[in-house]
Amino acid sequence: MKDNLLIAIRKGDRKAFYSAFDEYNIKLHQYIYRYTGNAWYAEETVQLSFIRLWDKRESLSEHYSLSIQLFRIAKSILIDLQRKEKLRDTRELSDTFISGPTESERLMYKEQLEKVLSAIDELPDQSKKVFQLSRLDDLSHKAISEQLSISPKTVESHITRALKHLRKTLKLFL
């Protein structure tokens, strides 16, 4: 079965294009909105999809229906929009970090780090080891207990004790 609307659009028939817009505009918008949950993405994708459909009308395939090709165009445009948005967010974030901290901020961070490290060094050896495995090496309580041959409750007790000590020691400084 031939898609008469598709054939007419391929030939440059504006009335056929407007008919396709009337038929698929809402469906496409609802589909994109349901997929993204974002009204801006839905509106932008629909507009750009119909623009691209008209721009590429001569290269549309007669082997696929108009709806299939239109939804493929929309999917491609949505992916492009999301990539650009992600790239823009990444650039904004990197711009924030390019300037970096000021000299006084670096000195303050260094002082804070030195104070935290010295507070950790004040811990009893076993508590220090458990705390470092938990917070610096990001091991679970179970993994720490297996590695040090102690119970998970003992691990929890060491971490609780270490955190109390750090809060008390660093309370005035931070």
pLDDT tens, per residue, the chain with 174 residues: 468 899 999 999 999 999 999 999 999 999 999 989 999 989 999 999 999 999 999 999 989 999 999 999 999 999 999 898 888 777 666 555 555 567 777 777 778 878 888 888 899 999 999 988 988 778 899 999 999 999 999 999 999 998 898 888 888 765
Query: Does 88 share its domain with 107?
Result: no
Query: Does 48 share its domain with 132?
Result: no
Domain end: 98, 130, 155, which one?
98
- Distance (Å, rounded) from C-alpha 154 to C-alpha 114? 28
Label residues 44-58 b or e (16+ Cβ within 10 Å = b): ebbebbbeebeeebe
Domain end: 98, 130, 160, which one?
98
Query: Does 89 share its domain with 164?
Result: no
Q: For residue 62, give the CATH number of its domain.
A: 1.10.1740.10
Query: Does 117 share its domain with 87?
Result: no
What pTM did the predictor assign?
A: 0.51
Q: Which domain holds residue 122?
A: 103-170
Query: Does 88 share its domain with 109?
Result: no
DSSP letter for each residue of 23-39: HHHHHHHHHHHHHH--H
DSSP one-letter code for 172? T
Query: Does 68 share its domain with 114?
Result: no
Domain end: 80, 98, 116, which one?
98
